[in-house]
Structure 1
Amino acid sequence: MVSTGRHFLQIPGPTNTPDRVLRAMAAPTIDHRGPQFAELAREVLEGLQPVFGTTQPIVIYPASGTGAWEAALVNTLSPGDKVLCFETGHFATLWQEMAGRLGLEVDFVPGDWRHGVDPQQVSDRLTADPDHAIKAVLVVHNETSTGVTSRIPEVREAIDRTGHPALFMVDTISSLASIEYRHDDWGVDVTVAGSQKGLMLPPGLSFNAISAKALEASRSARLRRSFWDWQPIIEANQRGFFPYTPATHLLYGLREALQMLSEEGLPTVFARHQRHAEATRLAVRGWGLEVLCADEREHSGSLTGVIVPDGHDADQVRAVVLDRWNMSLGTGLGKLAGRIFRIGHLGDFNDLMLAGTLAGVQMGLIAAGVPIKPAGVNAALERLQKP
């Protein structure tokens, strides 16, 4: 079948790259040791700070978010150190698996993939550790596999109540620049992020925002590191350079994306994402289906996980939507495979794009034989007609 019109990429990342960012990347290669590059590097490093909500250093890697996970761990911890992790979804599971492979001891608190981190469990686990064997608490802010957002300020408060000195590390790969986040105000020690979601870039850049406490921990940490080492990067960044060949054209794109976020204003960006998320949930409930996130306080502004009824295959729905309406939806990952599909509504996105997305989902559900009520799209449109 010949497809006409645009492809709807409605997975929760990589997201659509705006034309402005694509045009910014279509530039000549420059000398990454010259003054023009130094100006670019300083611009993006400074421009990232308000997005992370920090005045502290931010390290940029030419890598996926997985690389930033590893950098967070190897720069701050030593072999045999214990880390506290929580099973909120597929990516939280992968991060704790990485920690184990790196030689860390992992306390992995089980979860049902429908709730975020329970602050009381954080407090209980740390209170039960009077000798401070736990060296870091690892939390995924917005679990991309589920559409559940953990309440980071409450987790920070739980850590503080115990007086425990553990480092606090947060994955914001699918929340940064989409959902409110404050690295400094929320007392986070290492924030992990990637370029391909709220920052509206192609994959290929990842980030660590680093507190003074984490930087101090890096001076005595003994896990092996070379490429991921913060110190030589931070030192080179002070002169506007990197100790390796940087992803110059992605940095061009990042500068433009940061400008777009600044023009819209971060509070407006966050409100737009929340509004689209609300409209999507109204559509899901209008169809008579269930949103995966089970706690009203933890709904994601970036994506919505949709449970298909027993006896139906979510991947079949996705296949029908792709074949007939040229739209990609997110698959269920890990133990949610075949049970859910995910609707991404983050990045460079507007009301009409969401309306088209939800229309495609509704048609796909009907075509795949899933019993739904045809009220979903109208419920979303009623929300979108309001500011």
Structure 2
Amino acid sequence: MAGRNHLYIPGPTNSPHEVLSAMHLPMEDHRAPTFPLLLKPILEDLKKVFRTETGQAFVFPATGTAGWEIALTNTLSPGDKVLIYRFGQFSHLWMNMAQRLGLDVEMHEVQWGKGIPLDDMEARLKEDTAHEIKAVLATHNETATGVTSDISGVRKAMDAAKHPALLFVDGVSSIASLDYRMDEWGIDASISGSQKGFMLPAGLAILAFSQKALACLDSAKFPRCFLDLKDQMNSNKDGYTPYTPSTPMLHGLRASLDILLEEGMENVYARHHRLAEGTRRAVTAWGLKLCAQPGFESDTVSAIVVPEDKDARDVIAKAFNKYDISLGGGLSEVMGKVFRIGHIGDMNDVSMLGAIAGVEMALLDCGIDIVPGSGVAAAIEYYRATVTA
């Protein structure tokens, strides 16, 4: 088939040409006296993306999943109680990791399509008068269902309960895309990965920790080596890493940060909202619904529910095999029930219109009753009305 595959999954996302070009360079000495000129500014500029002045940023040659483990093992001890709400595959996996590490996990089940229930969380924390809960694990953007939770509201609930627990946030599919304010929201560990809003290949765990969280390093009793924050801190202060880094990825991250900060984080958030809203209007025009309940809709990924007599996997396969479009599949409990369109990373209005047009063709081919051109028309009118010259 002529042309290229069109990537409309929520990660890995499309990489800008500038990022790919920055990574295409000869190998270099990561112990050279010039290496700190690369690493130190990256760690400082990451704080601007996390929106923290008092926290400390870290980059590991790993993934967002490793980021979860870094947060848990560097600040907690086996047997510590943590509170988590399960409302999608990724909150489920974080819960599973905590259990496998030996933490005492208190899990509350939430309907998939909704996010963290703030009143329920506040009430539970008020009940915990002995402060047995040591950390709240909050998934900001549940990629599997296209649901965004209110992290500002989580902080308000914790403050209202006067609870001292640490607040850890999985921001893998939100940071560098959705409004995120680490200091303002009192977040103690922010966890992200390179392949989402940072528009890089998978391979970096990108994190930031509050001073409150870093103060827990000495008391944390989990064994750790490769994922030890102390080793990173000891090396990072001089502009180096405790082991061999992926230097091409760091150059790509440098280029990504330049793009994000030049656009401005508020503009980044607004762009993702526009792209998502155009997609949502297309879904409405098709007569379909999102998995996300009203008020929880994500600006980085839309999970779209197919009619009960259809299988979303057929839509995904048709889109890929016939139109060379990659869509996200339903995971676990929503497998076969939803397909996902990512509107995250290096995307613009025309990118999204291509996704919407391709999805329309796949839906029609699968016998789903929509009006041809309806979604494209709805998105076009929205984008035309909201574009800034």
Shorter-chain TM band: over 0.9
Say whether 1:180 aligns with 2:176.
no
Count of aligned residue pairs for this structure pair:
384
Say whether 1:11 aligns with 2:9.
yes
Secondary structure in 1 matching 2:134: strand
Taking the aligned partners of 1:123 and 1:188, their CA distance within structure 2 comes to: 16
Q: Please report how far the alpha carbon of residue 231 of structure 1 lies from its aligned counterpart in structure 2 after TM superposition.
A: 1.0
5+ residue gaps, structure 2:
none
The answer for the alignment partner of 2:147 in structure 1 is 148
**Do 1:30 and 1:37's aligned partners in 2 also have CA atoms closer than 8 Å?**
no
**Do 1:141 and 1:172's aligned partners in 2 also have CA atoms closer than 8 Å?**
yes
Q: Please report how far the alpha carbon of residue 95 of structure 1 lies from its aligned counterpart in structure 2 after TM superposition.
A: 0.2
5+ residue gaps, structure 1:
none
The answer for the alignment partner of 1:67 in structure 2 is 66
Taking the aligned partners of 1:221 and 1:240, their CA distance within structure 2 comes to: 25
The answer for the alignment partner of 1:243 in structure 2 is 242
**Do 1:85 and 1:139's aligned partners in 2 also have CA atoms closer than 8 Å?**
yes
Q: Please report how far the alpha carbon of residue 31 of structure 1 lies from its aligned counterpart in structure 2 after TM superposition.
A: 0.8
Secondary structure in 2 matching 1:240: coil
Amino acid at match of 1:69: W
Taking the aligned partners of 1:385 and 1:310, their CA distance within structure 2 comes to: 34
Q: Please report how far the alpha carbon of residue 121 of structure 1 lies from its aligned counterpart in structure 2 after TM superposition.
A: 1.3
Taking the aligned partners of 2:257 and 2:226, their CA distance within structure 1 comes to: 26
The answer for the alignment partner of 2:36 in structure 1 is 38
Deviations, residues 82-141 of structure 1 (Å, cap 9, x unaligned): 000001210000001000000001111101111110111111111111111110000110
After TM superposition, the structure 1 = structure 2 runs for residues 121-270 of structure 1, keeping only pairs within 5 Å, are 121-270=120-269
Say whether 1:304 aligns with 2:299.
no
Secondary structure in 1 matching 2:105: strand
Amino acid at match of 1:117: I
The answer for the alignment partner of 1:79 in structure 2 is 78
Say whether 1:280 aligns with 2:279.
yes
Secondary structure in 2 matching 1:347: coil
Taking the aligned partners of 2:104 and 2:119, their CA distance within structure 1 comes to: 22
Taking the aligned partners of 2:70 and 2:360, their CA distance within structure 1 comes to: 41
Deviations, residues 250-304 of structure 1 (Å, cap 9, x unaligned): 00000000001112111111101000110000000100000111022x2111010
Taking the aligned partners of 2:125 and 2:285, their CA distance within structure 1 comes to: 42
Secondary structure in 1 matching 2:7: strand
**Do 1:57 and 1:234's aligned partners in 2 also have CA atoms closer than 8 Å?**
no
Secondary structure in 1 matching 2:59: strand
TM-score under structure 1 normalisation? 0.98
Taking the aligned partners of 1:242 and 1:210, their CA distance within structure 2 comes to: 17
Amino acid at match of 1:32: H
Secondary structure in 1 matching 2:106: strand
Taking the aligned partners of 1:312 and 1:47, their CA distance within structure 2 comes to: 46
Secondary structure in 2 matching 1:78: coil
Amino acid at match of 2:219: S
> Runs of at least 4 residues of structure 1 off by over 6 A?
none
**Do 1:30 and 1:36's aligned partners in 2 also have CA atoms closer than 8 Å?**
no
The answer for the alignment partner of 2:88 in structure 1 is 89
Amino acid at match of 1:362: E
Alignment RMSD, CA only? 0.8
**Do 1:148 and 1:300's aligned partners in 2 also have CA atoms closer than 8 Å?**
yes
Secondary structure in 1 matching 2:34: helix
**Do 1:288 and 1:373's aligned partners in 2 also have CA atoms closer than 8 Å?**
no
Secondary structure in 1 matching 2:180: coil
Q: Please report how far the alpha carbon of residue 36 of structure 1 lies from its aligned counterpart in structure 2 after TM superposition.
A: 2.1
**Do 1:173 and 1:194's aligned partners in 2 also have CA atoms closer than 8 Å?**
yes
TM-score under structure 2 normalisation? 0.97
Say whether 1:339 aligns with 2:337.
yes
Taking the aligned partners of 2:210 and 2:365, their CA distance within structure 1 comes to: 51
Deviations, residues 206-230 of structure 1 (Å, cap 9, x unaligned): 1221001101112101111111111
Taking the aligned partners of 2:59 and 2:260, their CA distance within structure 1 comes to: 18
Segment of structure 1 superposing worse, 31-40 or 274-283 = 31-40
Q: Please report how far the alpha carbon of residue 201 of structure 1 lies from its aligned counterpart in structure 2 after TM superposition.
A: 0.3
Q: Please report how far the alpha carbon of residue 18 of structure 1 lies from its aligned counterpart in structure 2 after TM superposition.
A: 1.1
